[in-house]
Amino acid sequence: MKRRSFNTLLTSGLAAPALIGLSTGTARAQAGGKPTTIRIGFPGAGTGGRPLPTSGFTANVVFRGDLEQEFAAEGIKIEWKYYVGAGPALNEAYANGLLDFCFGHGDLPLIVGRSTGLKHKILLSSGRGGDVYFITPAASSAKSLSDLQGKTLSVQKGTAGQLTLYRFLDKYGFKEPEKQFRIISQIRDDRVAALSTGDVHGAIETPFGLEARGVAKRLAEIYDEPIINRPGSLWVGEAFEQKYPDLVQRIVNRVVKTAHWSTLEANRETQYQYWTRSGVNTYIDNKRVWDRTKDLRSRHNPLLDDYYTASIQRSIDEIKGYRLSRREVSLEGWIEPKYLNNALREQKLETYWPTQDATGKFVRT
């Protein structure tokens, strides 16, 4: 299997075939000064490039048709775009003028994009928390991660998953992952296929559906560790935000409303069924993973609290430490909380979600 460098990944191959619903930057303004289309990207797609999101309250916005309902009367179309090339491909699309919003950028591509000059404003967190599972082929004889030193691990490089893998390995004492393992870059479909044939010896994946099929088994797992799993981000392009602040507010209002809906226990099962449609995780994956979360507010959490900002800063530092980017990135002027604060106030949700301190400890439940 040919190894691909991080820089190559950002600018080539993986992005090119990965644009689902790609459109050109044609004129999009109505006579009344509003856009005809609002273009929203997800850094990922369903199995086989299926144009669907995978999980979380931002995915629920799609499945429920919330934004289509919001703008139907004005004739504004919502165009959803899904990128098999994940965060790096989404960065490329935005750089080429093909996106207005991103609904859930992971930390590594978010920060690398910012370091290359992409102009966007972070509006809210797209979710947080969750468990991390390291799996091997079902026939593997490995008993611990130490047994895999020098072996081939798979991750989609340039994505948040790369940093998650590095943190996971660091937790088990492996400080130089690229030297201690052979880490290759694959999209998820290819990674699962390689696990099934034994061409890859380990990866981070949701395990339950793969175990049921006899493809893989768990080797190690870390439960809900806030330093390992970092929050995602929902952002708007600066040009769109400056031109249409009223539309940005309406979108944030709707997203917060859906985030609240997503936290209600009565809606738990409906979400599992929504998320299964993408084919990435099976129903049993969604149920086994999310049933461990007793209070859905802790994961379906849009807040830009101390934990969120500290997490992004830690990721900035890690990216420099791993030499994934050498350019400076600052949080100053990047996060715009006013739209979220307005939505929380208008919906009387200012104290609804639990907050976490910089280390991830809950300070308000």
Phi and psi torsions of 106, nearest 5°:
-75, 165
Among 17-21, 159-163, 181-185, the range scoring the smallest mean pLDDT is 17-21
Read off the tokens for 84: 């098999």
Residue 220 has pLDDT above 90, yes or no: yes
* Mean per-residue pLDDT over the chain, rounded: 92
pLDDT digits (tens, 9 = 90+) for 291-332: 999 999 999 999 999 999 999 999 999 999 999 998 999 999
Report d(CA 76, CA 205) in Å as an integer: 37
pLDDT of residue 29: 64
pLDDT of residue 18: 38
Instruction: With beta carbons less than 8 A apart as the criterion, state whether 208 and 282 touch.
Output: yes
Report d(CA 350, CA 263) in Å as an integer: 15
How confident is the model over 150-169, as a mean pLDDT? Answer: 98
Residue 137 has pLDDT above 70, yes or no: yes
Residue 3 has pLDDT above 60, yes or no: no
How confident is the model over 5-32, as a mean pLDDT? Answer: 42
Bridge partners of 236, per DSSP, are 101, 121
pLDDT of residue 33: 85
**pTM score of the predicted model:** 0.90
**How would you class 300 by CB atoms within 10 Å of its CB: exposed for 0-12, middle for 13-18, buried for 19 or more?**
buried
How confident is the model over 224-238, as a mean pLDDT? Answer: 95
How confident is the model over 177-199, as a mean pLDDT? Answer: 97
Instruction: With beta carbons less than 8 A apart as the criterion, state whether 101 and 61 touch.
Output: no
67 vs 14, which has greater pLDDT?
67
Amino acid identity of residue 311, one-letter, is S
Domains located in the chain, CATH noted: 6-128+231-364 (3.40.190.10), 132-222 (3.40.190.10)
How confident is the model over 58-66, as a mean pLDDT? Answer: 98
pLDDT of residue 364: 84
Report d(CA 201, CA 196) in Å as an integer: 10
pLDDT of residue 2: 39
Taking residue 344's Cβ as centre, other Cβ atoms within 10 Å add up to 22
Per-residue 3-state assignment (H helix, E strand, C coil) for 6-37: HHHHHHCCCCHHHEECCCCCCCCECCCCCECE
How confident is the model over 195-201, as a mean pLDDT? Answer: 97
pLDDT over 90, % of the chain: 90
How confident is the model over 124-146, as a mean pLDDT? Answer: 97
**How would you class 325 by CB atoms within 10 Å of its CB: exposed for 0-12, middle for 13-18, buried for 19 or more?**
buried
Residue 168 has pLDDT above 90, yes or no: yes
pLDDT of residue 123: 98
pLDDT digits (tens, 9 = 90+) for 233-279: 999 999 999 999 999 999 999 999 999 999 999 999 999 999 999 99
